[in-house]
Amino acid sequence: LWIGTGDGLFQYDGNTLNSYPLTFISGDNFISASTIDNKGVTYLGLNNGTIVCRIGQKFYLIKESLTFKSTITQMTFYKNELWVAVQNKGIFKISQNKVIDGPILLPNIQTYCFLNKDDNLLIGTSDGIYIYNNDNLSLINSLPQTKIESIKLNPFSGSIFIGTEDEGMVEIALNNNKIKILKKYQFINNIKDIVNDREGNIWIATMGDGIFFYRYNKEQNSFYQEFQFTTENGLPNMQI
């Protein structure tokens, strides 16, 4: 198990937690994003904008990432190429460990998260969600026009959950390039992340309201809130 933290990379082998500092190669130890390709190569994005790839126990710096100088907020593979969201500089494409030209999308908009579904790339930004496909980029006006913190596909329901900073969470369906809003969860704000568990339930981490748990009902293909973790039932604080 590999764990990326604000203090570097750690590996847990079942008994021991081993540290792999990255400052010697990247100048930073704060891991802000990660992804893995189909060959098992791990890519680590850091707070200072550098990108390090891990092959086995060896680490290599993508040298051209030294020019980013802004937080790597997320990375994903889109049509077999690595796409990188650089917070204040837009979206870059990396092929064969080389940055291709300048930002290919949204050079003047803060970008935070990606989701690739059926070659439709959903991009969460400070202004809402953009959709990119076949060289076409457009803002989805029917979705919240605010900071998007998380976009996650639930593999059980097939729906997509969008977490925002101040307009709650939205559940949508994306089929044939068309967006359909399924449900709005407007009372949950300051969402930082959305995670699916192995039974299809969703866990929602917030900055200030703890953790929300929504159970998946397979028969109805829907979700309902079961409980909320707060300082009153075990959390050390409400900032997740």
> How much is the pTM?
0.87
The stretch 187-206 carries a mean pLDDT of 93
pLDDT classification of 123: cutoffs 50, 70, 90: very high
pLDDT classification of 195: cutoffs 50, 70, 90: very high
Pick 177 or 204 by higher pLDDT. Answer: 204
Residues 132-177: tens digit of each pLDDT: 998 899 999 999 999 999 999 999 999 999 999 999 999 999 988 8
Q: What is the pLDDT of residue 206?
A: 93
Q: What is the pLDDT of residue 172?
A: 97
> For the chain, what is the mean pLDDT?
91
Q: What is the pLDDT of residue 156?
A: 94
Q: What is the pLDDT of residue 31?
A: 93
pLDDT classification of 17: cutoffs 50, 70, 90: confident
Q: What is the 3-state secondary structure (H, E, C) of the chain?
A: CEEEECCEEEEECCCCEEEECCHHHHCCCCEEEEEECCCCCEEEEECCCCEEEEECCEEEECHHHHHCCCCEEEEEEECCEEEEEECCCEEEEEECCEECCCCCECCCCCEEEEEEECCEEEEEECCEEEEEECCEEEECCCCCCCCEEEEEECCCCCCEEEEECCCCEEEEEEECCEEEEEEEECCCCCEEEEEECCCCCEEEEEECCCEEEEEEECCCCEEEEEEEECHHHCCCCCEC
% of the chain residues with pLDDT over 90: 65
Q: What is the pLDDT of residue 14?
A: 83
> Which of 16-25, 45-54, 159-168 is predicted with the least confidence, judged by mean pLDDT?
16-25
